[in-house]
Chain A
């Protein structure tokens, strides 16, 4: 019989505090950074100080003799070409972090310094061919090819108004609070490797380390009980993890290598930039008749696009469009997936233009948003069938929660007396968030004869509350409380799980937990039914009891004591394939609507974000409280993207000047607005992940709110006082 979510849900969809919340608040929860093993050494990496150079000399003999040094490891030897300031060269392990850092500075190294490019705009002036070769090609500029649909010319001719503008978002970095890295320990007798890694992919990290060292995979254990943020940048051991394991092997001691803040910022990944010319045309009724975008972005030394070209224009259905993106390869840290890769950029390049078009047409931009929403096709619970309704409903809710009708005004008009101007703006987003896995993500549930329950999976909790999700699902099925479920996750030995990318963890794990708990329950019924003198089909679970059809209620613990010497075990698995075969447990694709309210000090250009309304669907809500905090977290990241974060590269030195938290600005308590979250529940769709979507549209919504406040577009994010003042000056004072 196919498994389904229970019709009556006691726990699922309610507000359940994280089962590990107290541990985290009290410091009991141990992150990889907190792991200290007996005799452990500390390692750090010597990196290229130059944006592009060749190693001429590398002499670490003095360094190796420095106090406390126990092992050294060459990553890039003489002759190696280094492609950005941060490229790894050499590492060593010493008894203290201080000794380690002192010793690294004793390495004698000489470089042949080579030309470099670190700024997007410079690539168009002259391609210096300084990118890491792809085949033989070292070009910095990878020109995009144009994709078109319909007839753009005709589309613009049909328009009542056309807007042409340049918009852009700068590179920002993941800034994981817990930096990348791990603690590695080899056991001397059997060559087993254990790592405590800060990773979003526990299983895959163990796999990759086994491959690197040519040892059987069962000889590597990766442990990640708690994790301080990854956002898409932590999918494997990475070079620093591999180096750490090598050092541990050489030193025959446990070694910890966690990146320091500057390395974290320059080398730990980033969200690529996107700048571009956008042209949009529309009719008075709000129909977008044509949209073109010609943009560029930099993945650093990577080679990927920075927008999701297939989703441009974003969210809206437009008959005629053309789109193109050049990839500018710079001598800077490589882009990595970052919370909905490509989508915040897509949203910015689309939703900003929508509001500029609305202003030219003299209409409320909501009219354009509604008019061009994707139309639903077919029936049922899948995205195509429900998307139009979801967006329309979410727009309604967002308008209401923000009091839009009362507050919206034409851009720059009726925006308040005095120098402080009020504005309101909206943007829309979408994301996948379906189940993953092949083989399926595994979950195992054990019911012990003392009544205790263990749920086990190798999946990881990045801070999204996955541990609690598993507890809720198992507790729901077994009639217990989430706290009564002993959830063991984050160890590669606990079976197969996919990495947490693409908002896929909850939709992969919750159905697996459901299946495992259901199987365990059925096995329990089979085991104890004869002892209760009933048929197993006649048993069911009510909160705290096992109840027979004849009305006899057996308390949970008592029932479990009938298990005897055994332990009951139930297994469950879930994957993208199973999700198609058994619809209703999980699904994919969500919408999302956000409204931002800002005040802009027109004398100083300082933007105060006062309120964000975030309306988000995620199919069936498992834990409403966690969903809401996930959305709030996404919004906070979006506010930072909009107002503060920017990687600043220096043309003279080729280095990032702000690899820190001082001038790489991140909002503090006073900078974060009131956040109103509304979860739009559609239990019939099944579980969908929303790790990423709530961060997508915040920046575009804030940009639109600023436009609404001051009547002129600030085209480039982050919206710093300098950029706001420049826009105001262009408008001609206020």
Chain B
């Protein structure tokens, strides 16, 4: 691990002032479950590491009548176990409770989860020239890509965005509050992520000197997350779907469906949402939405199987959100 200087500021302003205006020389540290890994693998080589853990008020969960606000430094385990989150945002509680294992959830934070780097095996191997580390092309496109994207159009890098909280938060129309040198601003989570294409881009749109303070999530919708996992312990999903909608008179409205682990960004599945909009929720309509969700997919050599999984995940997320019988459980 390259040597670095460690800072532990006590205010957001101090922290922002320590940051650089380009990516690389300075990294923020929350739980460290991703950053320290990257440092040990010589992928991240910051000169300065700025801890958020000395700043008061960055963690905690507050519920109001219309929204739940979660501090960026809140641990994933706390999100998974919070009673308001479980009651109003079962999709988020489910996603948080499925992350990694207990150690990861007890250290990992919401801010770190949203800002974590991707898990592509080429990106994380210091010995190969990954596009995101200055290489000429994305090695996954013609390489080993079974866990990569199946929506690939226009993406120079075909990793999948790792966060399983992000699809749910986008489906729930959450907003992040961030702070930079010019003060605070709000970003809708649906605009928070981007597909990086070169070394000085991240998986999100923040500037290198901005800090996520909190995420605010409207409540009131039916919501759920469904992950298709190869292993049931300690694994990433192969495909994830998050669904949120209002259910009035048995019909779904304001439908939002977001796919995870299918593209370099969490993917809003507009066609799927449209298919369900105004429909009663049942196995048939949920399956129709699933079918619509794969429109526009362009799988890689080894990700064709994900198209089937997307359809199933969407169907099951919708049925779970509506509280329907889980037909897949015996």
Contact = CB atoms under 8 A, between A and B. Distances in A.
B233 interface: yes
Interface in A658-690: 658, 662-663, 665, 667-671
B101 A650 contact: no
Contacts of A662: 119, 236
B228 A606 contact: yes
A284 B55 CA distance: 76
A68 to B, nearest CB: 11
B231 A671 contact: yes
A653 B125 CA distance: 11
A604 B308 CA distance: 7
Contact of B147 (A608, A651, A663, A667): A663
A644 interface: yes
How large, as a class, is the contact surface on chain B?
35 or more
A667 B121 contact: no
B230 interface: yes
B328 A668 contact: no
A383 B233 CA distance: 41
B305 A670 contact: no
A603 B328 CA distance: 9
A644 B229 CA distance: 12
B5 interface: no
A419 B143 contact: no
Interface residues of A, number: 42
B230 A657 contact: no
A101 B1 contact: yes
B122 A657 contact: yes
A720 B228 CA distance: 12
A604 B147 CA distance: 15
B225 to A, nearest CB: 15
Interface in B272-319: 302, 305, 308-309, 312
Task: Summarize A's interface: helix, strand, loop or mixed.
Answer: loop
Interface stretch (A524-532, A569-577, A721-729): A721-729
Interface in B125-147: 125, 127-128, 139, 142-144, 146-147
A657 B125 contact: yes
A134 to B, nearest CB: 28
Contacts of A668: 101, 231-235
A667 B121 CA distance: 20
Contacts of A604: 228, 308-309, 312
A419 B1 contact: no
A603 to B, nearest CB: 5
A142 interface: no
A401 interface: no
Contact of B330 (A418, A606, A643): A418
Interface string B110-132: 00000000010110010110000
A601 interface: yes
Interface string A105-137: 100000000000000000000000000000000
A419 B147 contact: no
Contact of B144 (A105, A657, A667): A657
A112 B2 CA distance: 28
A102 B302 CA distance: 36
B329 A653 contact: no
Contacts of B122: 653, 657
B143 A650 contact: yes
B101 A648 contact: no
Contacts of B305: 605, 721-722, 725-726
B235 A665 contact: yes
A658 B235 contact: no
A633 interface: no
B108 to A, nearest CB: 15
A77 interface: no
Contacts of A102: 1-3
Nearest to A47: B127
Contact of A671 (B101, B232, B309, B328): B232
Contacts of B146: 648, 722
Nearest to A728: B308
B311 to A, nearest CB: 8
Given A650-B144, A726-B305, A721 B328 contact: no
B143 A652 contact: yes
B95 to A, nearest CB: 17
B1 A98 contact: yes
A193 interface: no
A416 B329 CA distance: 12
A651 B143 contact: yes
A422 B234 CA distance: 25
A7 to B, nearest CB: 47
Nearest to B228: A604
A101 B126 CA distance: 13
A49 interface: yes
A665 B147 CA distance: 13
Nearest to A644: B231
B155 interface: no
A204 interface: no
Contacts of B157: none
Nearest to B142: A652
A599 interface: yes
B132 to A, nearest CB: 15
B42 interface: yes
A317 B161 CA distance: 53
B238 interface: yes
Q: From B234, B327, B329, name the one whose CB has the most chain A CB atoms within 10 angstroms.
A: B234
A418 B121 contact: no
A601 B309 CA distance: 11
A721 B234 CA distance: 16
Contacts of B3: 102
B139 A652 contact: yes
B125 A419 contact: no
A649 B238 CA distance: 20
Contacts of B330: 416, 418, 420, 422, 599
A429 interface: no
A721 B327 contact: no
A657 B230 CA distance: 18
A603 B228 CA distance: 10
Nearest to B119: A662
Contact of B233 (A422, A649, A653, A670): A670
* Most chain A C-beta atoms within 10 Å of own C-beta, residue among B125, B229, B236: B125
A704 B235 CA distance: 25
A652 B145 CA distance: 12
A297 B42 CA distance: 35
25 contacts: A98-B1, A102-B2, A102-B3, A416-B330, A418-B328, A420-B329, A422-B330, A603-B312, A604-B228, A605-B305, A606-B229, A644-B231, A649-B144, A652-B139, A653-B122, A653-B139, A657-B122, A662-B119, A663-B121, A663-B147, A668-B234, A671-B232, A721-B309, A722-B146, A726-B305
Given A601-B328, A644-B231, A670-B232, 16 more contacts: A85-B127, A98-B1, A416-B330, A418-B328, A418-B330, A599-B330, A606-B229, A648-B144, A653-B128, A653-B143, A670-B233, A720-B230, A721-B238, A722-B305, A725-B305, A725-B308
